[in-house]
Each structure stands twice: as structure tokens, then as C-alpha cells.
Amino acid sequence: MLQRAPSLTPAGTLIDVDHPLEPLWRGAVVYRVLTLLTVIGVSAFHMREYASPVGAVVVLAVMVVWTAVQARVVLSTGRDVRAPFAVADVVVSAGIMLTTPLIVTAAQLDASVPGMGSIWTSGAVLSCAIAFRVPGGLAGAAVISAALVLGKSRATLTELSDIQVLVLAGLTVGFASLVLSRAAERLRRAAAEEAATAERERLARAVHDGVLQVLAHVKRRGAELGGGAVELGVLAGEQEVALRTLLTSGDAEIDESGQRDLAATLRALSSARVTVSAPAHSVELPAATVGELDAVVRAALGNVERHVGPEAPAWVLVEQLDDAIEISVRDDGPGIPAGRLAEAETEGRIGVARSMVGRVADLGGSVELETGPGRGTEWIFRVPGGTA
Amino acid sequence: MVVDDHPIWREGVARDLGERGLEVVATAPDAKAAVRIAPAVRPQVVLMDLNLGETSGVEAITGIVGALPQTRILVLSASGEHADVLEALKAGATGYLVKSASVDELVDAVHRTAEGTPVFTPGLAGLVLGEYRRLAQSPGGEPAVPALTDRETEVLRLVAKGLTAKQIGERLVVSHRTVESHVQNTLRKLQLHNRSQLVRYAIEQGLAE
């Protein structure tokens, strides 16, 4: 199961990834209630001059009811009705503004008395912006602005500055809503990825513990039982090594800076007959260098197989020295007789040895060969690099 | 004593060892049980898997070595987690064998561990060698970083290259006992360093009373 995201959200983060817009919605409700009180106060002040005080009271009552309904819908009902409700909010608010000519006299409007609804209606723009981001905010502002101009049948500097504020509010809140939901989405995805990674690691551990152990066990029992079981045991042993290598060589990937871990790369060459020894930490080199060294070591191991025998054991040692990387490939074979390499070359055969030497030289490195009767053969490849 | 979270493997190994004349005094499936049981049975050698389900073999090693300094730990692991193996050695294990080793190799390793001879595979030597080089290269502020003598380095490199103690002895014209004691020293220095680091850490954290 995916973990619930909030548990992964740092304590200081204010974003609830499942409901990122909740604070905005609650703010919109508070704004609506405060503006309602303001509008009631202002309307009461102008009540006696209104063309229809009764109409004003009716309109104010509608606003009170609508504000209550809005608060209820936003705060308690399911979120899915909020978006359609924001649209309805804009329509109702515009309708209330359009009652202005019936209630407010022209003389009052000339004296800068606000139309019906006035600042309260800007709340609808906010709801629209939260529900539909920037486009919603702008559309809401456009409708309310139109209702403002139509209701008051004028477009003076006062109306224009109101429109400016409406557009600005729609734009800012719409943008805030967009940013919040994107950030929440990203946090949620990060949490999901984290959970998925943990799950993958858990699976890898399970395979590691279960399957590998059984394979190793079959190998051991097979060897003891003898007969046909020996072959089974050998097969199980090969699979064990292959699976173990597969599970542990995942870190041989090339990273962003083009570096690759030489130790992990060469460890992937481990098999029943090849032992690879390397530091526990990664040995980072440019990916191309690692690719070349990998090829060189493979060639050397191929040599062992050809000249010493397909079952001959071989050892690879990777060391990170102060100023160089040293790789040794050794076998316990009969060794290469003196002059054998030169002989091969004069015979016109390019020789695996020469191609290995060439590759290492291209990397600015050197090759050493240690061999002798009864001492096996050891190739030492040294390339610049290291920790210094 | 055999510590492994996998029942088939645990019982299989215990039976193999029993058939070869070794006495298995206890088995345990996880680190907690191992640390609890070990002082009661006082085993000479603990065969320890590192991947013990939810718990880690390194914890168990620390616990057992702390309670029973005479007990030797042989890590027997399918784990390809090289860092874990290194941690286990630093915590006090004296040998490491992969689970794909044969019964004969295993029995031989148990006997050698009981005698106090470290069981070093080439892979392990490579890890230890790498660790010494890393310590030597780590930037200052690390007093008393253990260093290998030239001879120890030479021996460790030969082990890592797959030579047996006998072959190394022939090459360096010393006895294989000398070779083994060099190998043992490399391990002991690493463990001492680890312990002194733990103590230093404890003092810094105000935990040492």
C-alpha cells in the first residue's frame, strides 16, 4: 500500500497534499461573511434614501441566505459540488447587482453610494478562481464587472478601479490555487515514489533471502547426493551466482555526471569460476573508461578460459590507489612461457594481449604481466584516476 | 550456534555440521534471539547470516561479541551487500564465507574460526584492502587511522588475488602461519579502530558515563 502522503510531509509544510485548497476555501467563506456585514452596514446607512427600502431589505435577505448556503456548501458538503456552486455564486451575485436600478436612485449613484451587493460580490470571483484557477478567476471577474457596469449603467473611474481590483483578485487567487495544487501533486508523487522504492527494496530482500538460500541449499545437497543430483546442484549454483549478481549490480548504472562505478561493473563478471574483489565503496570513473576497462578484463578472463581451461578459476582485484586504479586479473594456470607472446605477434596474430595493451594505453595507462612456470599468469592494468 | 532467518537453510546447515562431528548448541532466527540465547549456550563459534529479516546480523554480532568476548563469529551470507560484510568484520566477525561454499569448506572454516584463524576469502581481502585505502585517504581530523605495514598490504593483496596462505608463504618465503598472522592483524586493527571510534562517538554524545 502507498503510505498516506501527509505523514511524509515535513512538519513545517503547510500543504495538505490531499486537500491543498482547503485554506483558500475557508478564507473565501470568511471573506464572504465579513463583506456581507460591511454591505449590510452601508445599506442601512443609505436605507432612507433608497428608491425602494423594502426591495433593499429583500435583496439583503437574499444575500444573507446565499452567504449561509455558500458557507455550508463549502465547509461541510463534499468537494465535488464546489465547482458548480462557484458558477452559481457568480450568477446569483451578478443577479443581485442587476437589482441596483430598482433600489438605488441615480442621485445616490452620482453621490458614490455603492450599488446592490457591491464588495460582497467579489467573493464570487474568489470562489471561481479557487475552483477554476486563473481562467476561472478572470471569467468570474469579467461577469461581475459587466454586472457592475450594467447595474449602475455607468463606467466612471470608480467602476474602473473596482474592475481593476476584481481582475487582480481573480488573477492572484487563481494563480495561488494553481501553484498550491501543483505543489501538492508533486509532493504526492514524491511520496508515492518513495513508497514504491521501499517496496522494490523489500521485494529484492525477499528474493535475496528466499530464492538464493534455496538455490545455495540445492547446490550443496546436490553435490552430496551424487549421481544425477550433482548436475542439478551445479545448475542451481550457477543460477545462485547469476541471481545474486543481478540483485547487487544495480548500482553499476551511469549517473548524471557520466560517471560509472567500476567496482560494481566488474563485480557483474563474477561467476562460479571468477572471483571479483573490490572495495565496498564505489570506484567512480568516466563511463567510457569503465566500459573500456570492462572490455579489457573480459578479454583477460576469456584468455584464461582459452589457455588454462573453461573451468579454471580466475581472480579479479580492483584497487583504488592514490593516483591510479589498478586491476589485476590472475589465474593459477601453467603461465605463459617466455617469448610466447612475441612469437604470436610475429606469426601475424594480433593477439588478445596486444589488444588489451592497446586499450589500456589509449586510456593513458600501463600493463604489466607477471608469469612464470607454476606461478600462474597475472595481468596488472593500471590507469590514471584514484582519489587524489 | 547457527543464526539464520531462513528455516530450510538453518536446519540444513545445522544437520550438515552435526553429521561432520560438530556440535550445534543452538539455532536462532533473528538478531534479538541470537543475542538472548548466546550467553546461555556459550558457543565457540557463531555462524551468522547478515540478512536476518527485519533485524541485521551486524547488531547481533555487536551484542554477542560484547557479552562473550571468547566467542568467534563466522559470517555466512548470501548477501552481496559488501558494506554490510565490512561492517560485520568491524563489529568483530573474524571470517566470511559465501553461502555457495561447499560443506567441506564450511566445516573447515568453522574449525579455523574456532582456532582463532581468520577465514578470508579473496573478496573479503579486497573489501578490507579497499577500506584501509579509504581510511588512509579520508581527509584529516581522523586521529589514529589504522595503517597497514607494507608486508601486511602485500599479503592482503595476494589473498585478494586468490592465492592460498601456502602459495603466499612460498612466494614471500615465510611460513603460512606468518601469513595468517599478518591477515589476522589487518582485521584486528580495523576492529580496534572501530571500537575506539565507537567510544569516541559515545563520549562526544555524552553517553559514556
What integer pLDDT is reported at residue A214 of this predicted model?
Answer: 80
What are the chain B neighbours of A240 within 8 Å (beta carbons)?
78, 99-100
DSSP label at residue B119: B
DSSP string, B164-183: -HHHHHHHHTS-HHHHHHHH
Residue A99 has pLDDT above 90, yes or no: yes
Residue A89 has pLDDT above 90, yes or no: yes
Helices A122-152 and A53-76, axial angle in degrees (round to 10): 160
What is the distance in angstroms between the Cα of A312 and the nearest Cα belonging to chain B? Answer: 12
Percentage with pLDDT > 90 across chain A: 34
What integer pLDDT is reported at residue A251 of this predicted model?
Answer: 47
Does A313 contact chain B (CB < 8 Å)? yes
**What confidence category does residue A245 fall into, taking pLDDT thresholds of 50, 70 and 90?**
low
Task: Look at A279 and B161 and tell me if their CB atoms are within 8 Å.
Answer: no
CB atoms within 10 A of CB A75: 11
Most confident of A31-35, A111-115, A208-212: A31-35
What are the chain A neighbours of B173 within 8 Å (beta carbons)?
none
Cα B5 versus chain centre, distance: 19
Cα gap A44→A62, rounded to integer Å: 15
Among candidate residues A386, A375, A388, A364, the one with its CA nearest the CA of residue A337: A375
C-alpha cell at A304: 584464461
What integer pLDDT is reported at residue A2 of this predicted model?
Answer: 38
Structurally, at CATH architecture level, domain B127-207 sits in Orthogonal Bundle (1.10)
Mutate to test the interface with B, among A209, A219, A225 (most CBs of B within 10 A): A209
More confident residue, A149 or A337: A149
What are the chain A neighbours of B79 within 8 Å (beta carbons)?
208
Q: Are B183 and B174 in contact, with CB atoms under 8 Å apart?
A: no
More confident residue, A35 or A9: A35
Does A202 contact chain B (CB < 8 Å)? no
What integer pLDDT is reported at residue B11 of this predicted model?
Answer: 85
Q: Among the listed ranges A20-34, A268-282, B154-168, which one has the minimum average pLDDT value?
A: A268-282
What is the distance in angstroms between the Cα of B151 and the nearest Cα belonging to chain A? Answer: 17
Helix locations, B4-74, DSSP H: 7-19, 31-41, 57-67
Tell me chain B's radius of gyration from C-alpha atoms: 17
What are the chain B neighbours of A330 within 8 Å (beta carbons)?
161-162
More confident residue, A348 or B138: B138
What integer pLDDT is reported at residue A206 of this predicted model?
Answer: 67
**Overall pTM > 0.90:** no
Residue A348 has pLDDT above 60, yes or no: no
Most confident of A22-31, A205-214, A338-347, B109-118: A22-31
Does A332 contact chain B (CB < 8 Å)? yes
What is the distance in angstroms between the Cα of B209 and the nearest Cα belonging to chain A? Answer: 34
**Residue from the list A205, A277, A332 with its beta carbon closest to the beta carbon of B51:** A205
What integer pLDDT is reported at residue B105 of this predicted model?
Answer: 84
ipTM over cut 0.85 = no
Most confident of A14-28, A96-110, B74-88, B99-113: A96-110
Q: Which residue in A has a C-alpha nearest to residue B8's C-alpha?
A: A214
Which residues contact residue A200 at a Cβ distance below 8 angstroms, ignoring those fewer than 6 apart? none
Task: Look at B133 and A328 and tell me if their CB atoms are within 8 Å.
Answer: no
Q: Among the listed ranges A176-190, A287-301, A322-336, B185-199, which one has the minimum average pLDDT value?
A: B185-199
What is the distance in angstroms between the Cα of B92 and the nearest Cα belonging to chain A? Answer: 17
Residue written as grid cell 453621490: A111
What integer pLDDT is reported at residue B147 of this predicted model?
Answer: 79
Residue A218 has pLDDT above 60, yes or no: yes
pLDDT in tens, B3-35: 887 787 788 888 888 888 888 888 888 888 888
Task: Look at A315 and B161 and tell me if their CB atoms are within 8 Å.
Answer: yes
Among candidate residues A189, A171, A187, the one with its CA nearest the CA of residue A20: A187
Arithmetic mean of pLDDT, A210-218: 78
Cα gap B73→A371, rounded to integer Å: 37
Cα gap A238→A233, rounded to integer Å: 9
Does A315 contact chain B (CB < 8 Å)? yes
Q: Which residue in B has a C-alpha nearest to residue A220's C-alpha?
A: B102
What is the distance in angstroms between the Cα of A190 and the nearest Cα belonging to chain B? Answer: 25
Task: Look at A212 and B130 and tell me if their CB atoms are within 8 Å.
Answer: no
pLDDT in tens, A158-176: 899 999 999 999 999 999 9
Does B6 contact chain A (CB < 8 Å)? yes
- Domain assignments of chain B as residue spans, ordered by start: 2-119, 127-207
For chain B, give the number of residues. Answer: 209
Among candidate residues B120, B90, B1, the one with its CA nearest the CA of residue B49: B1
No. of H helices and E strands in chain A? 12, 7
What are the chain B neighbours of A221 within 8 Å (beta carbons)?
12
> Which residues, numbered 150 to 179 in chain A, qualify as contacts with chain B under a Cβ-Cβ cut-off of 8 Å?
none
Taking all residues of chain A, what is their mean pLDDT, rounded to a whole number? 83
Residue A5 has pLDDT above 60, yes or no: no
pLDDT in tens, A351-373: 666 778 888 888 888 888 888 77
Which residues contact residue A315 at a Cβ distance below 8 angstroms, ignoring those fewer than 6 apart? A274, A275, A276, A277, A328, A329, A330, A331, B122, B160, B161, B162
Which residues contact residue A275 at a Cβ distance below 8 angstroms, ignoring those fewer than 6 apart? A313, A314, A315, A316, B121, B122, B123, B162
DSSP string, B189-203: HHHHHHHHHHHHHHH
Q: Say which CATH class B2-119 falls into.
A: alpha beta
CB atoms within 10 A of CB A128: 29
Cα gap A327→B151, rounded to integer Å: 20
What integer pLDDT is reported at residue B143 of this predicted model?
Answer: 55
Cα gap B20→A301, rounded to integer Å: 36
Alpha carbons within 13 angstroms on the beta-carbon side of residue A114 total 17
In chain B the first and final C-alpha atoms are separated, in Å, by 33
Does B134 contact chain A (CB < 8 Å)? yes
Beta-bridge mates of residue A277: A317
Q: Which residue in A has a C-alpha nearest to residue B168's C-alpha?
A: A375
Q: Which residue in A has a C-alpha nearest to residue B105's C-alpha?
A: A220
Task: Look at B8 and A214 and tell me if their CB atoms are within 8 Å.
Answer: yes
What is the distance in angstroms between the Cα of B205 and the nearest Cα belonging to chain A? Answer: 26
**What confidence category does residue B140 fall into, taking pLDDT thresholds of 50, 70 and 90?**
low
What integer pLDDT is reported at residue A164 of this predicted model?
Answer: 95
